[in-house]
Amino acid sequence: MRTRPLKVALLGCGVVGSEVARIMTTHADDLTQRIGAPVELAGVAVRRPSKVREGVDPALITTDATALLKRGDIDIAIEVIGGIEPARTLINTAFEHGISVVSANKALLAQDGAALHAAAEQHGRDLYYEAAVAGAIPLVRPMRESLAGDKINRVMGIVNGTTNFILDKMDSTGAGYQEALDEATALGYAEADPTADVEGYDAAAKAAILAGIAFHTRVRLDDVYREGMTEVSAADFASAKRMGCTIKLLAILERAADGESVTARVHPAMIPLSHPLASVREAYNAVFVEAEAAGRLMFYGPGAGGAPTASAVLGDLVAVARNKLAEATGPGESAYTQLPVSPMGEVVTRYHISLDVADKPGVLAQVATTFAEHGVSIDTVRQQGKDGEASLVVVTHRAADAALSGTVEALRKLDTVRGVASIMRVEGE
């Protein structure tokens, strides 16, 4: 066993970073045995040096992350700063100085993953990022290593714990969106500004990373269709229950039937209660992977939080450290297929549309005709009326998003349609 330690620079020491430092200290002997050499926390770069960080030696604290990376003795850098800059510059600086990188930065990887992989390859270093997608859940490595000999056709999952907590509370208690969000905020699941979560930005970044791995093609954040969940209402959940469904914010990645393109999207959707994802409660994450040979696989667990995310970071640290001792590198970017990402308009799925209509004869026939004229086939219809007003719920067979959009625009022009109360996709069937 090598006695000279591998030196680690920790960039960022917030909720995740402090847990990484704690585990590196408390599990030092075990890590040494698993790696084949000691790992030593050699420096911790932070913005606010005066903040007390329990378990972190104050002598390791610095505000100059660049100098820490350039000092010449660092073997591995752990980046848990988040955001685009200065994280991007620091990761590139690490590669330039012969340092492998472990990152939890989903936003940066979704935006600039290709360039970062290229820089890692150019300098013969590792870039690992298990913690960027689903917290403690082993997902990135199984997809890019364990399933490397298989063909993944579809990935569908809950990849944001905050949104799942909110939707679960709306489902189980009948609470409205704002009430459920307030509870999530009080419990620490939602940030003071929850936009990144509830508008789907966080999930979209993770979707871009997973799509690239699953389909061996480059998928950027801008390629992912994104729709938030702030308009989901108690009435939507009532409709879902009548269909034997619940509502989840899903990341859905698919390979086209002809294999010539892929799609990547994030949006709320109704899923049958019989689907495994329907039972994912509270702030948990779960990802359902469909592969040709392996069949259907589901990965489940805590998707956020200091300790769970630190677990994924430390797993990557062990892998990268082993590679360092073997003078090797792990798998890099695989983008050989170069498949185009199809626009949302070409995505085919089922839809649940709730309309406010006049309660008079002929309305249903008029609505049905409009669907038929746009090539959208109706599966079921439910109508309720009272005092001259009525609600009409239409569930379609599978149809292209563009065709459904054209149908809805035409429905809005009918004098018997007062408004479109909600439109939601139906998945998982």
Interacting residues of 4 by C-beta distance below 8 A, sequence separation 6+: 37, 38
Find the farthest-apart pair of alpha carbons in the chain and give their distance in angstroms, rounded. 85
**Angle made by CA atoms 13, 15, 16, in degrees to the nearest 5:** 75
Beta strands of 276-343 (E only): which ranges?
Answer: 284-291, 295-302
Closest to 249 in 3D by CA, of 278, 289, 215:
278
> The tokens 């935006």 sit on which residue?
111
User: Phi and psi (nearest 5°) for 43?
Assistant: -175, 150
- What number of CA atoms fall less than 13 Å from residue 320's CA on the CB side? 29
The residue from 206, 248, 324, 360 that is catalytic is 206
Separation CA 411–CA 370 (nearest Å)? 7
What is the number of other CB atoms lying within 10 angstroms of the CB of residue 408? 19
Question: Which amino acid does the sequence have at 259?
Answer: G
50 three-state secondary structure:
coil
- Hey, what are 389's tokens? 């007003």
- Hey, what are 182's tokens? 């307030």
140 three-state secondary structure:
helix
- Tell me the CA end-to-end span of the chain in Å, nearest whole number: 53
- What number of CA atoms fall less than 13 Å from residue 231's CA on the CB side? 10
248 is catalytic: no
Using omega within 30 degrees of 0 as the cis cutoff, is the peptide bond preceding 138 cis?
Answer: no
Tell me the β-bridge partners of 383.
392
Determine contact, residues 167/285, Cβ cutoff 8 Å: no
Question: Which amino acid does the sequence have at 41?
Answer: L
The string over 142-177, giving b where at least 16 C-beta atoms fall within 10 Å of a residue's C-beta and e elsewhere, is bbbeebeeeebbbbbbbbbbbbbbbbbbbbeeebeb
Which residues are part of the catalytic machinery? 206
